[in-house]
Amino acid sequence: MTNSYTAGGYIEAWCTKCRLELEHTIVAMVANSPKRVKCNTCDSQHNFRAKPSEKKRIKSKKPLQKVKAQEINYDEFISRLTDNELSNAKKYRIEGSFEKNEVINHSRFGIGIVSSVIQSNKVEILFKDGPRLLVQNRESGLGTGV
Ligand SMILES: [Zn+2]
């Protein structure tokens, strides 16, 4: 026996009430193993348990909360931007080239965030009133009236 537990001794055990692994006082021993313990934190007596039963503890698996392009919260995003970032927002131009999550200043729609680059010439930008598909990388002189 490497473990020399005795009644009245201390042992790390799972407290069913505190739901934590805490120091317990051994109340009763059975065959050289702690049988009943008392939690030194909440004073509750319960059978000795080294670990919580795995089955009960498994939480429903939540997928990692990856922010999808379409689920960007505009207000939240804007509130996180510094004044500097806002004033440096890239001016939207159809000839411009934009990247995901870039902050855009549109002359009509205001501040927006590039939520998705759909194609090399098409981006989705989220503005205060919702996402809009806008053109990017438009070569000058192509139907722009220039
Ligand atoms: Zn306890």
- The answer to the question of residue 74 being in a domain is yes
- The answer to the question of residue 37 being in a domain is yes
Both 46 and 73 in one domain: the answer is: no
**Measured in angstroms, how far is the CA atom of residue 61 from the centroid of ligand 1?**
27
- The answer to the question of residue 119 being in a domain is yes
- The answer to the question of residue 63 being in a domain is no
Do the strands 20-30 and 33-39 form a parallel or antiparallel pair, or are they unpaired? Answer: antiparallel
For residue range 90-112, what is the model confidence (pLDDT) as tens digits?
999 999 999 999 999 999 999 99
Range of the domain at 35: 10-53
Both 75 and 118 in one domain: the answer is: yes
Q: Domain count for the chain, please give it.
A: 2
Q: Contact, 15 vs 41, CB < 8 A? A: yes
**Measured in angstroms, how far is the CA atom of residue 30 from the centroid of ligand 1?**
21
- The answer to the question of residue 1 being in a domain is no
**Measured in angstroms, how far is the CA atom of residue 5 from the centroid of ligand 1?**
20
The whole model's pTM is what?
0.48
Both 41 and 96 in one domain: the answer is: no
Sheet strand arrangement including 110-119:
90-91, 103-106, 110-119, 122-127, 130-135
Question: What is the spatial distance between Cα 2 and Cα 122, in angstroms, rounded to a whole number?
Answer: 70
Q: What share of the chain is helix, strand, coil (3-state, %, to 5)?
A: 15, 40, 50
**Measured in angstroms, how far is the CA atom of residue 81 from the centroid of ligand 1?**
45
- The answer to the question of residue 115 being in a domain is yes
The more confidently predicted of residues 57 and 3 is: 3
For residue range 47-66, what is the model confidence (pLDDT) as tens digits?
998 876 655 555 556 555 55
Structure tokens, 30: 């059975």
Task: Look over the chain and give the mean of its residue pLDDT values, rounded to a whole number.
Answer: 84
Q: Contact, 24 vs 7, CB < 8 A? A: no
Cβ count within 10 A of residue 49: 15
**Measured in angstroms, how far is the CA atom of residue 50 from the centroid of ligand 1?**
13
- The answer to the question of residue 125 being in a domain is yes
H helix count then E strand count, the chain: 3, 9
Both 87 and 129 in one domain: the answer is: yes
Q: How far is CA 36 from CA 1, 2, 27, 39, 75, in A?
A: 19, 20, 5, 10, 55
For residue range 23-34, what is the model confidence (pLDDT) as tens digits?
999 999 998 889
Both 82 and 129 in one domain: the answer is: yes
